[in-house]
Each structure stands twice: as C-alpha cells, then as structure tokens.
C-alpha cells in the first residue's frame, strides 16, 4: 500500500499513523483567578491543528458553550497548550 506521495507505508521513512494522529495543541478549560495559573483543570481535549488562532477560537467557543450549558462546572478560563507549555489563554 502506498501513501499520497507514492511511498510504501511499511517503508522506514514513511510517517507512522501514531505521529499523524498526535495532537499538536491541547485545549484546557480551567477554573481560577487567571488562565496562566489555574486552580483546577476542569476538562481538556486535543486540537488537531498547529494554528494557535484556530485553537484559541475553538477554545473560546467551547468555554462559552460550557458556561452556558453547564454553569455548575465553574469553568472560568481556557488555555491553549503546546508541548512547551501554555501558549495563550483567556478571557483576560
């Protein structure tokens, strides 16, 4: 079987399916005084993009939806986290 470039999938240089599915960014919904130092992480999910802007927009939408539909969870902020740590968050 060949990939899109014509390389055999079992070839040593072929990308593994594990790598292809690895999340580039993680979105966290948190509770606390600010997003930089949350008191608690309420929920998180992987975001299959390397665009911080797209991940932040998705995070804000998820935050607002969760606050509206499940206020008892007490979610106050979102964070977009890369392998090196938190990149961006909000609301301020």
pLDDT digits (tens, 9 = 90+) for 59-80: 999 999 999 999 999 999 999 9
Torsion of CA 87, 51, 28, 33, to 10 degrees: 40
> How far, in Å, CA of 55 to CA of 82, rounded?
11
38 found inside a domain: yes
What is the pLDDT, as a whole number, of residue 21? 53
Segments in the chain below pLDDT 70: 1-23
Give me the number of domains the chain comprises: 1
What is the pLDDT, as a whole number, of residue 5? 47
Beta-carbon count within 10 A of 71 CB: 9
83 found inside a domain: yes
φ, ψ dihedrals at 41, nearest 5°: -95, 120
Domain span at residue 45 reads 22-90
What is the pLDDT, as a whole number, of residue 85? 87
What is the pLDDT, as a whole number, of residue 83? 87
75 found inside a domain: yes
31 found inside a domain: yes
φ, ψ dihedrals at 5, nearest 5°: -85, -5
* pTM of the full structure: 0.73
77 found inside a domain: yes
């Amino acid at each position: 079987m060949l990939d899109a470039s014509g390389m055999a999938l079992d070839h040593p240089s072929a990308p593994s399916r594990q790598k292809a599915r690895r999340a580039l960014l993680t979105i966290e919904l948190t509770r606390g005084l600010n997003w930089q130092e949350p008191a608690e992480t309420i929920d998180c999910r992987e975001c299959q993009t390397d665009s911080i802007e797209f991940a932040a927009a998705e995070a804000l939408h998820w935050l607002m939806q969760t606050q509206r539909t499940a206020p008892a969870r007490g979610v106050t902020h979102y964070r977009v986290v890369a392998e090196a740590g938190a990149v961006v968050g909000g609301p301020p």
